[in-house]
Amino acid sequence: MGNFEDWNHLKGRGHELMPHTWDHRNLSQMPPDEAKKDIDRCLDYFEQHLDGYVASQAVYNFAFNASTPELDAFTLQRVRAVRTGGWLILKGSRYNPIPVNNQPLALGCWGHGPDNGDAYTENEINQFLAGEGGWLIINMHGLDDEGWGPVSASYLDGLLKRLKKVKSLEVLPVGEVLRKAGG
């Protein structure tokens, strides 16, 4: 949870913070005009309260990985990218293509819950490493026993140490990938 004082402190320490809906409702189940107001309210609040926030460089993270093509298009008028369910937008692959320019884009994301996500995450990572390449985005919500689909802190620590050793792999926040691609 937290507040913008906490989040600005984290941002000042180098953490990436991006909008994730105004009140964590499933916008795909709301009337489109109401969902758009929710999106605008969230983005406006971020602009007012998050130090250094630039909407055109932001990634809007749809709660529940749930959006619609109409909501994606609407939101992409204000942000660099939207993150939604991979099954909603990725065709022919489980992985996003590596971005090569500053075009707005919809990113497919995968997640697991409500129970511990260690085994799920391990399986997804191993499939990715053995596969065709691209960009895998996994949505994790919490550590240990907190959150929806959390991973254990010990598993995450070990996973990151292992992945850092893979020379052909970068583990980066979504916004950083987009910045490196010209955004």
At 26 the pLDDT is 96
Instruction: Parse the chain into domains and list their residue ranges.
Output: 4-180
Q: How far apart are CA 110 and CA 73, in angstroms?
A: 20
pLDDT value for 183: 55
What tens digit of pLDDT does each residue of 38-57 get? 999 999 999 999 999 998 88
H/E run at residue 16: none
Residue 101 has pLDDT above 90, yes or no: no
pLDDT attached to residue 104:
73
Count the Cβ atoms, other than its own, within 10 Å of residue 116.
Answer: 17
Q: For a pLDDT cut of 70, what percent of the chain falls above it?
A: 98
Q: d(Cα 144, Cα 127) in Å, to the nearest integer?
A: 24
- Region 116-128: mean pLDDT is 95
Question: Given this model, what pLDDT does residue 2 score?
Answer: 64
Tens digits of residue pLDDT in 141-164: 889 989 889 999 999 999 999 999
The whole-number average pLDDT for the span 24-39 is 96
Q: 7's torsion region: left (phi>0), alpha (psi -120 to 50) or beta?
A: alpha
- Does residue 92 surpass a pLDDT of 90? no
Residue range 117-123: mean pLDDT, rounded: 96
pLDDT for 39 equals: 97
- Given this structure, which CATH class describes domain 4-180? alpha beta
The three-point CA angle 122-125-131 to 5° equals 140
pLDDT at 168 over 60: yes
- pTM reported for the whole predicted model: 0.89
Q: Which strand (E) or helix (H) includes residue 85?
A: strand 81-85
